[in-house]
Structures are given as structure tokens and as C-alpha cells.
Amino acid sequence: MTGRPLLVVITGPTAVGKTGVGIDVAVAVGGEVVSADSMMVYRGMDIGTAKPTVEEMQGVPHHLIDVVDPDEEFSVARYQKLATAAIADIHRRKRVPLLVGGTGLYIRALTDQYRFPARSDPQLRRRLQDDARRFGSARLHRHLAAVDPTTAGRLHPNDQRRITRALEVYYQTGKPFSWFLEQGRRESRYRLVMFGLTMDRARLYRRIGERVDELIRAGLVAEVQNLLARGYSPELTAMKGLGYKEIANYLREQTTLAEAINILKRNTRRFAKRQLTWFRRDERIRWLDMDECGGRKGAAQEIVAFLAGVVPPPANHK
């Protein structure tokens, strides 16, 4: 195990402070960040995804951000391939890779080296997509729950792309997508050191509300308006992400702005709850309470202290 290359993972629910902690740890140990966020891969979607600014990055290289345009297909398998290459390159340069983010399947694709089932069947996928347009994603989600309750339980009923993919796998193989995730797991190629950030649920929910308000002040409405003006359909997977879907509905006069903001806060709270449920199942994660640690700096210091016996002192890379 000790001969394997190191991979440090920092995860947790949305708005808990992963991005800042990851940057602080990277600065201290000579690391580079590999994003594990399924929305940060899209170009031009900066405010709603809370991408760190150049100033906030503090000179730390970030990988797997701004990889594709919002109308491009981007799968977990493609993420796995690109992130694996980025981590190998970081190792070659004698730096420390930090996998930072809250997309559980992206993280597990790397830590457990998932083998992904069945290549996409375009004809079957189009039929499922047509069904989603005619009857709604919720109906497909109910169908998925009947054949694969495990996968359905971790997907939002509006997550059309992932619901469609899970049903596609089931129809092609006769086995649920969750079966492949368990059977396809392999012993990790990495020496894993995994941290999860958490905090009191009520405080996390307050932070989510404050974050949404800050996104609105930062120009989220204008960002979504610009994406729609550039021809990106509200039906795209990228445009169904948190913040984009709710604000697009407002811009299409389906809700008021106040209603859209409240719905976004509610949906984000529910997403955070699903994230915590997912990550709590992974016994490899060492949990750090952000309040008990004293916030961002304290959590980063705890991680750096733990890594002291694992990571050699950073070399001067400038």
C-alpha cells in the first residue's frame, strides 16, 4: 500500500467550505487541486458553480475546471480518464494531488477505479429522452426506482441525464447501474487519505441561504440570462444544475425572482442532505467538524498536521 502514489481527498456537502480548505492545504503541502465537481467542468458557468477566482486560488493550479462547453456531453467515465491523467501528471512533477469537491460519483470513480458498464446506445438514449420530454423526468425516476432503488435514491427526480443513463444500462444489460458500481469496484491504485468536512446541520443550512444570496448579488441572474441568449437550452444537463434551472425558470416567467431564490435554497439544502448520506457510507473518510476546528484555517491546519507524516516537505516549484 505504501508504494502507491498518494491521493488526498477533501469532500463534504455544498457550502461547507471545501474549496477554501483545499487551497490552504495545497499551499502548505505543495499541492495542486483536481476538482471533483460535476458543474465546474462547464465553461462560462462561473457564478452559479462558485468557481474560485484567480485571486482565491492563491497560485495553486486547478485541474478539471472549464473543460467543456455547456452543450457538450460529459460523462463520469470521461471525468475518470481526464482526472486520472491529471493526477499522474501531478505525481510526475513531485507535487501532491488534492481531489476536492462534492460530486460523490466522481470521487468514487477515482478512489475505487470503477469500470463503467455498457457503452451508450444512441437510439435507446433518444427514446428515453423522448419519454422524459413527453412524460417528465419524474416519471422516468419512478421507473428507475422500481428497477434500481439504490441509484434512484441518490438521484434527484429532475436529473434527467443520470436517470436516463441508469435506465439505459438496465435495458442493455438487465442489471441495475448500482450493481455495476459495486461489482466494478477495484482496489484503489492510490494511497488514499480522505477527509470530510461537516458542521451542524442548521448552521450549514444558514450558510447555504447566505451563499445563494451572495450568488444573486454576484450576478447569477445575468450569467443565466447570458447563457440563454447564447442559445444554450434550459433542457441541457448543464442548465439543469442548481442555480441555473431555478433562475432560468424565473427568466422564462415561470416564477418570480423571490420564488426562484427560495426554491434554489430549498433544492440546495436537499442536495446537501443527499451528499451527506452518500459520503457517510464511506468508512475511509475522516470527518472534521468545521466549527470544532475553528473554521477554514483550523480545518486546513488539522489536515496539514495529519499529512505531516505522509507528505514530504514541498519543494520550491517556482
Q: Please report, for residues 144, 163, 165, the alpha-carbon distance to residue 137 in angstroms, rounded to integers and kept in the order given.
A: 10, 8, 12
Is 285 found in the same domain as 139? no
pLDDT of residue 310: 84
Least confident stretch, 42-51, 107-116, 184-193, 294-303: 184-193
Please give the tally of structural domains in the chain: 2
On whether the CB atoms of residues 235 and 159 are closer than 8 A, the answer is: no
Last residue of a domain, one of 183, 202, 236: 183
Is residue 272 domain-resident?
yes
pLDDT of residue 2: 54
Length of the chain counted residue by residue: 318
Q: Which domain holds residue 127?
A: 122-183
Over residues 72-106, the pLDDT tens digits come to 989 888 999 999 999 999 999 999 999 999 999 99
Domain at 154, CATH number: 1.10.20.140
Over residues 175-185, the pLDDT tens digits come to 888 777 666 55
Q: How many CB atoms lie within 10 A of CB 185?
A: 14
User: Mean pLDDT for the chain?
Assistant: 92
Q: What is the DSSP letter of 98?
A: E
Over residues 248-277, the pLDDT tens digits come to 999 999 999 999 999 999 999 999 999 999
Is 93 found in the same domain as 201? yes
AA identity, residue 295? G
Q: Residue 161 pLDDT more than 80? A: no
pLDDT of residue 119: 65
Across the strands, what pairs with 99?
9, 34
